[in-house]
Amino acid sequence: MAETNRQIVLDRLPQGDKLAPEHFRLIETVCPTAGTGEVLLRTRYISLDAANRAWMQGATYRSALESGQVMAGGALAEVAVSNVPHLKVGDTVFGDTGWQDYAVVPGKRLSKLPAMEPITHLLSIYGVAGLTAYFGLLECGNPQAGETVVVSAAAGSVGSIAGQIAKIKGCKVVGIAGGAEKGRWLVEELGFDVALDYKGGGLRQQMKEAVPEGIDVYFDNTGGEIFETCLFAMKNFGRIACCGAVSQYDGAAPPHGPRGIPGLIVTKRLTLRGFVVMDFESQRDAALIELQGWVASGQLKVQEDIIEGLENTPAALIGLLNGENRGKRMVKVD
């Protein structure tokens, strides 16, 4: 076992500016030791999500990050030392390791994951990304066959899966992504009916042409102007699943929130529901069975974006926030 532990520390918090490499620092320290009831984990694949940036802004469903801390994040990890009976050396788990080679985690927070090839599917389609898409769309959006579903950040880890599930359920699916190349990928590879380019300008006009009849379900990953555009295009009794707001996380605060919300929600009788994937923990096993069936049948395609090297994690997160990735972005630590 290594004697040193590489860590990426949040050197200073962004103060109204966009996240940049200088906000992080790579250090080396002594490898930690697991105590009673604890497990020493060797990090293998670090999950990157827009939420990593949101944690720098204040408390969410977890404590706010502070300068000098090891950058927070979940990861697929291998048990290196176990002081609990339900885990043994070599087991694979998902844990809150942070951005480092080794981490000590209470054993009660960990469960052994099944053997799988590729192992990265445990972080993408069968991990937080896949389950977030599944529950956000089906439990919060409640799409019905024949309805129109719009998904923002549609080429990302959650959006690409949510859109495919909507197609499986018999919906017309419109994806919003940045650039013509991503749009072609959504339509030609993932089976979306239409792709809109928010970088191309005129999104409201694009939306009117794509869904003149309006939107039944909107899966929101972005917030901001895209949320506002979709809000005005909703049908009566439409449903909005509020998953994230990546457009609001990085940089200065927006000059205003979405306009016209009270009137639109009332007159259109809209339902907006925010959620986090932990809300549906009791339904997790049933969801995984259905996701596995769709993958096995070829109805659901898995796209992963793997970056090599712990030292490249800050740049990989910055790239994700700038929309570089297709599908689930993660970092292979070694």
pLDDT digits (tens, 9 = 90+) for 286-308: 999 999 999 999 999 999 999 99
Domains of the chain: 4-123+303-332 (3.90.180.10), 128-278 (3.40.50.720)
Q: How is residue 149 written in tokens? A: 């579903």
For residue 255, CA distances in Å to 133, 153, 224, 252, 259 come to: 29, 22, 10, 9, 11
pTM over 0.75: yes
Helix (H, G, I), strand (E, B), or coil: what is residue 111?
coil
Confidence of residue 252 (pLDDT cuts 50, 70, 90): low
Higher pLDDT pick, 247 / 273: 273
Q: Sorting pLDDT into bands at 50, 70 and 90, what band is 313?
A: very high
Side chain identity, residue 286:
A
